[in-house]
Structure 1
Amino acid sequence: MTKKLPIDIKLHAKSRTLEFVYSDQEGYELTAEFLRVHSPSAEVRGHGRGNGVLQTGKQLVGIKGVEASGNYALKIIFDDGHDSGLYTWEYLYDLCHNHDQYWNRYLEALAEAGETRHGNMIAKG
Protein backbone atom coordinates (compact mmCIF):
# COMPACT_ATOMS: atom_id res chain seq x y z
CA MET A 1 0.00 0.00 0.00
CA THR A 2 1.25 3.45 -0.86
CA LYS A 3 2.10 5.65 2.09
CA LYS A 4 -0.43 8.44 1.86
CA LEU A 5 0.01 11.29 4.31
CA PRO A 6 -2.76 13.73 5.20
CA ILE A 7 -2.00 17.38 4.52
CA ASP A 8 -4.05 18.37 7.56
CA ILE A 9 -5.53 16.73 10.65
CA LYS A 10 -8.23 18.48 12.66
CA LEU A 11 -9.58 17.41 16.02
CA HIS A 12 -13.24 18.37 16.43
CA ALA A 13 -13.73 17.92 20.16
CA LYS A 14 -17.41 18.87 20.24
CA SER A 15 -18.44 16.30 17.60
CA ARG A 16 -15.78 13.83 18.84
CA THR A 17 -14.28 13.36 15.37
CA LEU A 18 -10.85 13.46 13.82
CA GLU A 19 -10.73 14.88 10.31
CA PHE A 20 -8.08 13.77 7.81
CA VAL A 21 -7.58 15.98 4.77
CA TYR A 22 -5.60 14.40 1.94
CA SER A 23 -6.40 16.93 -0.81
CA ASP A 24 -9.06 19.44 -1.79
CA GLN A 25 -11.15 16.56 -3.09
CA GLU A 26 -10.31 13.95 -0.46
CA GLY A 27 -11.15 14.28 3.21
CA TYR A 28 -12.61 12.00 5.86
CA GLU A 29 -13.99 12.32 9.37
CA LEU A 30 -13.66 9.38 11.72
CA THR A 31 -15.47 9.32 15.04
CA ALA A 32 -13.57 8.81 18.27
CA GLU A 33 -15.67 5.69 18.85
CA PHE A 34 -14.66 4.22 15.48
CA LEU A 35 -10.98 4.97 16.08
CA ARG A 36 -11.14 3.63 19.65
CA VAL A 37 -12.75 0.30 18.74
CA HIS A 38 -10.30 -0.13 15.86
CA SER A 39 -7.22 0.73 17.91
CA PRO A 40 -4.11 -1.07 16.68
CA SER A 41 -3.00 -1.68 20.28
CA ALA A 42 -2.35 -5.17 21.63
CA GLU A 43 -5.05 -4.44 24.24
CA VAL A 44 -7.64 -4.32 21.44
CA ARG A 45 -6.14 -6.50 18.71
CA GLY A 46 -4.75 -9.14 21.04
CA HIS A 47 -1.40 -10.86 20.84
CA GLY A 48 -1.87 -12.89 17.69
CA ARG A 49 -4.42 -13.56 15.02
CA GLY A 50 -7.97 -14.05 16.31
CA ASN A 51 -7.14 -12.92 19.84
CA GLY A 52 -8.69 -9.47 19.61
CA VAL A 53 -10.88 -8.10 22.38
CA LEU A 54 -14.26 -6.72 21.30
CA GLN A 55 -14.56 -3.16 22.54
CA THR A 56 -17.96 -2.34 24.00
CA GLY A 57 -19.59 0.73 25.51
CA LYS A 58 -17.40 3.21 23.63
CA GLN A 59 -20.15 5.31 22.03
CA LEU A 60 -19.41 8.40 24.10
CA VAL A 61 -15.61 8.18 24.14
CA GLY A 62 -13.78 11.35 23.16
CA ILE A 63 -10.29 12.27 22.06
CA LYS A 64 -8.15 14.27 24.49
CA GLY A 65 -5.19 14.70 22.17
CA VAL A 66 -3.22 13.58 19.16
CA GLU A 67 0.56 13.28 19.01
CA ALA A 68 2.92 12.46 16.15
CA SER A 69 4.99 9.33 16.70
CA GLY A 70 8.05 9.86 14.59
CA ASN A 71 7.10 10.36 10.96
CA TYR A 72 5.19 7.10 10.62
CA ALA A 73 2.22 7.20 13.00
CA LEU A 74 -0.19 9.05 15.26
CA LYS A 75 -0.80 8.37 18.92
CA ILE A 76 -4.41 9.13 19.80
CA ILE A 77 -5.18 9.80 23.45
CA PHE A 78 -8.76 8.92 24.35
CA ASP A 79 -10.64 10.24 27.37
CA ASP A 80 -11.24 6.70 28.67
CA GLY A 81 -7.49 6.44 29.37
CA HIS A 82 -6.60 4.41 26.27
CA ASP A 83 -3.46 5.72 24.56
CA SER A 84 -1.34 2.70 23.64
CA GLY A 85 -2.23 2.33 19.96
CA LEU A 86 0.03 3.75 17.26
CA TYR A 87 -2.00 4.43 14.15
CA THR A 88 0.35 4.28 11.16
CA TRP A 89 -0.41 6.51 8.20
CA GLU A 90 -1.20 3.44 6.14
CA TYR A 91 -3.62 2.12 8.77
CA LEU A 92 -5.38 5.49 9.08
CA TYR A 93 -5.79 5.74 5.31
CA ASP A 94 -7.17 2.19 5.28
CA LEU A 95 -9.65 3.08 8.06
CA CYS A 96 -10.77 6.13 6.06
CA HIS A 97 -11.25 4.19 2.84
CA ASN A 98 -12.90 1.13 4.36
CA HIS A 99 -14.88 2.82 7.13
CA ASP A 100 -18.30 1.41 6.22
CA GLN A 101 -17.05 -2.16 5.87
CA TYR A 102 -15.15 -2.05 9.19
CA TRP A 103 -18.02 -0.31 11.01
CA ASN A 104 -20.59 -2.83 9.79
CA ARG A 105 -18.30 -5.71 10.80
CA TYR A 106 -17.94 -4.16 14.27
CA LEU A 107 -21.72 -3.73 14.67
CA GLU A 108 -22.24 -7.36 13.62
CA ALA A 109 -19.65 -8.54 16.16
CA LEU A 110 -21.40 -6.54 18.90
CA ALA A 111 -24.76 -8.07 17.98
CA GLU A 112 -23.34 -11.60 17.90
CA ALA A 113 -21.80 -11.07 21.35
CA GLY A 114 -25.03 -9.58 22.74
CA GLU A 115 -23.16 -6.36 23.55
CA THR A 116 -23.88 -2.70 22.84
CA ARG A 117 -22.12 0.51 21.97
CA HIS A 118 -23.79 2.16 24.98
CA GLY A 119 -21.97 0.54 27.89
CA ASN A 120 -23.85 1.10 31.12
CA MET A 121 -26.37 3.43 29.51
CA ILE A 122 -29.89 2.17 29.03
CA ALA A 123 -30.48 1.56 25.35
CA LYS A 124 -33.53 3.32 24.00
CA GLY A 125 -35.42 1.32 21.41
Structure 2
Amino acid sequence: MTKEEVFNFIRQRLSFNDELLEQFRHVKKDDLAKEHRRFEMSGNESKTGWCTVFNTAILNEFADLGIYNYTSYLFLDFHNGTPTIYLKYFLEDENLEYTFNGYTTTEIIFEILELTIFSGKPERKRN
Protein backbone atom coordinates (compact mmCIF):
# COMPACT_ATOMS: atom_id res chain seq x y z
CA MET A 1 0.00 0.00 0.00
CA THR A 2 1.08 3.56 -0.60
CA LYS A 3 1.17 6.01 2.28
CA GLU A 4 -2.02 7.65 1.02
CA GLU A 5 -3.75 4.25 0.81
CA VAL A 6 -2.75 3.55 4.42
CA PHE A 7 -4.08 6.99 5.43
CA ASN A 8 -7.40 6.18 3.72
CA PHE A 9 -7.49 2.80 5.47
CA ILE A 10 -6.97 4.56 8.83
CA ARG A 11 -9.71 7.09 8.09
CA GLN A 12 -12.08 4.29 7.08
CA ARG A 13 -11.39 2.41 10.32
CA LEU A 14 -12.18 5.55 12.31
CA SER A 15 -15.28 6.55 10.37
CA PHE A 16 -18.66 6.52 12.04
CA ASN A 17 -20.55 3.31 11.26
CA ASP A 18 -23.96 3.29 9.57
CA GLU A 19 -25.73 2.36 12.81
CA LEU A 20 -24.39 5.46 14.52
CA LEU A 21 -25.11 7.68 11.51
CA GLU A 22 -28.76 6.62 11.66
CA GLN A 23 -28.96 7.97 15.23
CA PHE A 24 -28.32 11.56 14.15
CA ARG A 25 -31.15 13.93 13.33
CA HIS A 26 -30.84 17.35 11.76
CA VAL A 27 -27.36 16.47 10.51
CA LYS A 28 -26.32 16.22 6.90
CA LYS A 29 -25.31 12.58 6.79
CA ASP A 30 -23.24 13.09 3.63
CA ASP A 31 -21.10 15.65 5.46
CA LEU A 32 -20.79 13.42 8.53
CA ALA A 33 -19.82 10.43 6.37
CA LYS A 34 -16.62 12.30 5.47
CA GLU A 35 -15.71 12.69 9.14
CA HIS A 36 -14.01 10.25 11.49
CA ARG A 37 -13.15 9.93 15.16
CA ARG A 38 -10.15 11.91 16.34
CA PHE A 39 -7.92 11.83 19.38
CA GLU A 40 -8.66 14.25 22.21
CA MET A 41 -5.30 15.99 22.04
CA SER A 42 -5.67 18.67 24.70
CA GLY A 43 -4.91 16.26 27.52
CA ASN A 44 -7.38 18.24 29.61
CA GLU A 45 -10.22 16.34 31.20
CA SER A 46 -13.14 17.11 33.47
CA LYS A 47 -13.20 13.54 34.77
CA THR A 48 -9.94 11.79 35.68
CA GLY A 49 -8.91 9.24 33.10
CA TRP A 50 -11.44 10.26 30.45
CA CYS A 51 -8.84 11.28 27.81
CA THR A 52 -6.81 8.13 28.34
CA VAL A 53 -9.87 5.89 27.98
CA PHE A 54 -11.15 7.79 24.93
CA ASN A 55 -7.80 7.88 23.12
CA THR A 56 -6.95 4.26 23.95
CA ALA A 57 -10.30 3.17 22.48
CA ILE A 58 -9.37 4.87 19.22
CA LEU A 59 -5.91 3.30 19.22
CA ASN A 60 -7.41 -0.11 19.97
CA GLU A 61 -9.29 0.04 16.66
CA PHE A 62 -5.95 -1.13 15.23
CA ALA A 63 -5.15 -3.84 17.79
CA ASP A 64 -6.35 -6.57 15.44
CA LEU A 65 -3.55 -5.59 13.06
CA GLY A 66 -1.06 -6.58 15.75
CA ILE A 67 0.25 -3.20 16.92
CA TYR A 68 0.69 -4.57 20.44
CA ASN A 69 2.50 -7.73 19.29
CA TYR A 70 5.78 -5.89 18.77
CA THR A 71 5.99 -4.18 22.13
CA SER A 72 6.12 -4.98 25.82
CA TYR A 73 4.15 -1.77 26.24
CA LEU A 74 2.74 0.88 23.95
CA PHE A 75 1.12 3.98 25.39
CA LEU A 76 -0.08 7.19 23.76
CA ASP A 77 -0.30 10.30 25.91
CA PHE A 78 -1.25 13.92 25.18
CA HIS A 79 -0.12 16.91 27.20
CA ASN A 80 -1.15 20.42 26.15
CA GLY A 81 -1.77 19.23 22.60
CA THR A 82 1.51 17.37 22.25
CA PRO A 83 1.18 13.65 21.48
CA THR A 84 3.87 11.36 22.86
CA ILE A 85 4.20 7.66 22.18
CA TYR A 86 5.94 5.60 24.83
CA LEU A 87 6.99 2.09 23.92
CA LYS A 88 9.40 -0.72 24.57
CA TYR A 89 9.94 -3.31 21.89
CA PHE A 90 9.41 -6.96 22.72
CA LEU A 91 12.78 -8.63 23.51
CA GLU A 92 14.52 -5.24 23.89
CA ASP A 93 15.40 -3.26 27.01
CA GLU A 94 15.27 0.35 25.81
CA ASN A 95 12.31 2.53 26.78
CA LEU A 96 11.52 4.76 23.81
CA GLU A 97 9.65 8.03 23.57
CA TYR A 98 8.48 9.73 20.36
CA THR A 99 6.82 13.15 20.18
CA PHE A 100 4.65 14.01 17.18
CA ASN A 101 3.79 17.67 17.64
CA GLY A 102 1.46 19.05 14.98
CA TYR A 103 0.38 15.63 13.71
CA THR A 104 -3.24 14.72 13.00
CA THR A 105 -4.94 11.60 14.36
CA THR A 106 -4.39 9.83 11.03
CA GLU A 107 -0.70 10.78 10.98
CA ILE A 108 -0.18 9.63 14.59
CA ILE A 109 -1.76 6.26 13.88
CA PHE A 110 0.33 5.92 10.73
CA GLU A 111 3.47 6.54 12.81
CA ILE A 112 2.35 3.90 15.32
CA LEU A 113 1.88 1.44 12.44
CA GLU A 114 5.38 2.34 11.22
CA LEU A 115 6.82 1.81 14.71
CA THR A 116 5.07 -1.53 15.13
CA ILE A 117 3.77 -3.68 12.28
CA PHE A 118 6.01 -2.05 9.65
CA SER A 119 9.08 -1.94 11.92
CA GLY A 120 10.66 -5.27 11.08
CA LYS A 121 11.04 -5.91 14.82
CA PRO A 122 10.43 -9.41 16.26
CA GLU A 123 6.76 -10.16 16.84
CA ARG A 124 5.41 -11.81 19.96
CA LYS A 125 3.05 -14.61 19.04
CA ARG A 126 -0.22 -14.58 20.95
CA ASN A 127 -1.70 -18.06 20.77
Q: What TM-score, normalized by structure 2, do the two folds share? A: 0.31
More helix by share: 2
Higher strand share: 1
Instruction: Give TM-score, length-normalised by structure 1.
Output: 0.31
